[in-house]
Structure 1
């Protein structure tokens, strides 16, 4: 039954009937808990993670994996959104990242929080007509992106930190290659 519903949703989202979903089609398919659409940069990140054949689109099997991934992240988000505000504040973000094994310094945590904070928090009616303004903090989609980016950057750093002392010595080309090859 779930697979049939997921296929129906996939077919509905696949507006050009190509049998695959593009980033704009996926963006229209994904909404946050407050009915605001997913941030396009988050959609692009998800596309990169789930476009296994590197076609620039995702087929039904890739979409199924993405759907499960999003459902799993929803549970994580609900767990850390302790005040049930519908967004993640600084303390909740710190706790989430620490539980994932990323103990960021206060200055880095502030930077991540500012970078991924809801950009439309003060804009009433963002999303569907009659929708409420986005809560301050980090929305679900941007929380997923923040956590994935912190993980990717940390893994890239670890690959470069050959002696595992927390310091790396690389040249500009090595740094740019590392950052530009991240999904």
Structure 2
């Protein structure tokens, strides 16, 4: 027993079969030692290739995907899934960042989305690029030549996927057109990230 009758805190080790290095990263990110990672702890841990922190909206999107128990935090197993997801996306990003600039330009974005099966019109591609490009005053740095940083690339791709799936659920005859009420439209858009 320690002072005041309290047992000293035992250092928990990794769960059986866990990657020890990933466990060390998880415990380093869990700054309040709660055994779970909050959105702000996760944001402090995730950085882009240019050493800028991940955009908070992207971190929140990742949390909604990986917080499977809807606790508002990410436990170790959820973190392990999130870590693999980010590593996979890093490979995708490097593949499409053909000029090696560390950001995705409009041409690279169009190529990526086309290869993912999303054939967006030029005006829609331009809108997506403008929405996700980094600029002065965003608080997260500036991407090279107005490009899209890694975190925002992931968010753009995930949002396009989720919006496309929401549209497809409403396009029951698969003709590329839907008729929706105002309530249906608002529910669809507001439930998207």
Same-fold status (TM-score > 0.5): yes
Question: Is the counterpart of residue 76 in structure 1 residue 85 in structure 2?
Answer: no
Paired residue for 1:18? Answer: 34
Paired residues, number: 176
| Correspondence for 2:135 among 119, 130, 150 | 119
What 5-or-longer segments of structure 2 have no aligned partner? 1-16
| Correspondence for 2:59 among 43, 66, 71 | 43
Separation in structure 1 between the aligned mates of residue 80 and residue 117 of structure 2, nearest angstrom: 28
Separation in structure 1 between the aligned mates of residue 158 and residue 98 of structure 2, nearest angstrom: 21
Residue 178 (structure 1) shift: 1.7
Taking structure 1 as the reference length, what is the TM-score of the superposition?
0.91
| Stretches (4+) displaced over 3 A | 120-123
Question: Is the counterpart of residue 151 in structure 1 residue 161 in structure 2?
Answer: yes
Conserved in 2, the CA contact under 8 Å of 1:121 and 1:134?
Answer: no
What 5-or-longer segments of structure 1 have no aligned partner? 128-132
Separation in structure 1 between the aligned mates of residue 137 and residue 94 of structure 2, nearest angstrom: 19
Question: Is the counterpart of residue 171 in structure 1 residue 181 in structure 2?
Answer: yes
- 1:20-50 per-residue CA deviation (whole Å, 9 max, x = no partner) reads 0000000000000111100000000000000
Higher relative contact order (CA 8 A, sep 6+): 1
Conserved in 2, the CA contact under 8 Å of 1:122 and 1:134?
Answer: no
Q: Cα RMSD (Å) of the superposition?
A: 1.9
| Correspondence for 1:87 among 80, 85, 103 | 103
Q: Work out which of the two has the higher radius of gyration on C-alpha atoms and give 1 or 2.
A: 2
Separation in structure 2 between the aligned mates of residue 59 and residue 165 of structure 1, nearest angstrom: 42
- 1:130-161 per-residue CA deviation (whole Å, 9 max, x = no partner) reads xxx53121000000000000000000000000
Residue 179 (structure 1) shift: 2.0
Taking structure 2 as the reference length, what is the TM-score of the superposition?
0.87
Separation in structure 1 between the aligned mates of residue 192 and residue 19 of structure 2, nearest angstrom: 32
